[in-house]
Structure 1
Amino acid sequence: MREEGYTLVGRNPVMEAFRAKKTIDRLFVQDGLKDGPILSILREAKKQDTVVDFVKKSRLDEISGGEVHQGVIAYLAAFSYAELPELLSIAKEKGEAPFFFLLDGIEDPHNLGAMIRTANLCGAHGVIIPKRRAVGLTATVARSSAGALNYTKVCKVTNLVQTMDELKKEGMWFVCADMAGESMYKLNLKGPIGLVMGSEGDGVSRLVKENCDMQASIPMKGDIDSLNVSVACGVLAYEIVRQRMMG
């Protein structure tokens, strides 16, 4: 699906975006193309550590909606990403224990936007997402955040586990959502904490879950067994808020 206003179609627009140091979330290149302009674009993508997908021409035709793409399409981020130290600085400036959302493999832009909105409203100091196998800051994410992206910093990292290790050195603890975990009401969720939410289908990935200090479940009283990931995120986030307000 094409993100209107944030999709660059064709070699010149994509190359100019790289030269202007624009944030490109993902680059699509037609498989098998190796001419000079394509190689130049790939070199720029490597410099900026951009995710590159080599795909069939039919896939590019689908993304471009029939526009002439010359074998290259890029998704431009709707907002710039923050660096991890910026998120820590926000908490420090407010005199608060750091509180971050770490979103592991969220692919639905509406869910990501909703969780960024929740992060803003519950006072989280930032959102951390992985570079691969997850949606970036697309136009749909921006709309779904209802303006929260203007105020809430989002950091994109290469490896969530390594990022968690870095934050543990800063004194942070991590709790992940897991249906088999302990009830959120029985856990101590105060202090510097990261709330980890997993993908819509598979939940939190194994390595990320193993790096969490706690696994929290939400009591279920109905006939179905799970909430939408963005709703579950809100429930867990506000239990953290409640405990932080209790002191």
Structure 2
Amino acid sequence: MKHIVTYIIIFTTLFSWAQQDNKAQLLAMKKANNYVYEGNEKLSSEDIVSAEMAYRKAISEQPTSVAGVYNLANAYIKNGNFEEALYRLEQAVKSATTKEEKHKAFHNIGNVLMQSEQCKEAVEAYKNALRNNPSDDETRYNLAVAKACAEEQKQQDDQNQDQDNQDENKDNEDQKDQEDNQDQEGDNKDDQNDQGDEDKKDSDKEKDDEGKPEDDKKDEGKDKEDKQPQPQPGQLSPQQIKNLLEAMNNQEQQVQEKINAEKQKGVKVKSAKDW
């Protein structure tokens, strides 16, 4: 019996704590909702700063308040602060407990991404929104717009990449042409140097020929004589012909003297044959 009383006391205490906790949660929820309503009124009157403050109070009272986070994101969207809006909408997705809440959060995420010209990412956001509410025609329309935008951006990126490749190839060709021109100039310079060396050699040779001593010139003359054509076998050399002519002249002179002597004796003789 004693143990039963103890359990009853403990159960009563826990129940009391649960009731108090529920009351605190209900009170926080009520305050949060009041701040959300206040923020909505400020936002409708274009008092964006006051609306933002009200939504922040709602979140502080109830951090899981999807309405507070979602509406705060909308305030950032109107203020043009898309980065902060995107952050708050992602929080709303995590805090959402129903498909409709997730659908609205993803839909607005797509809108923010389109404002930031992140079309490819917006396509995925709208797809997620339609997964939670396939019957929303507005989301379906936005998805089609996002797809067209993403395709256009892809084509533009491809064109830019092609242009960059062309520019890079042109730069490489220009650099190669410049290197080839430098090589050609170097070759021409080497040819000019070689031609100058040849001209210098010819000039030095002429000077050497002019400055040679007489003995060297005689040697050159002797070399030229040595280089004259030599008689072939069966032919007389110029010296042999000269000796033969002299011998013929001597013989003719002897014959003539003999004829003269015979004339003196009165004896006729035959004339010598011509050679």
Q: Which TM-score band (shorter chain)?
A: under 0.3
Return the index of the structure with the highest Cα Rg. 2
- TM-score, normalization by structure 1: 0.23
Identify, as 1 or 2, the structure richer in helix: 2
TM-score by length of 2: 0.22
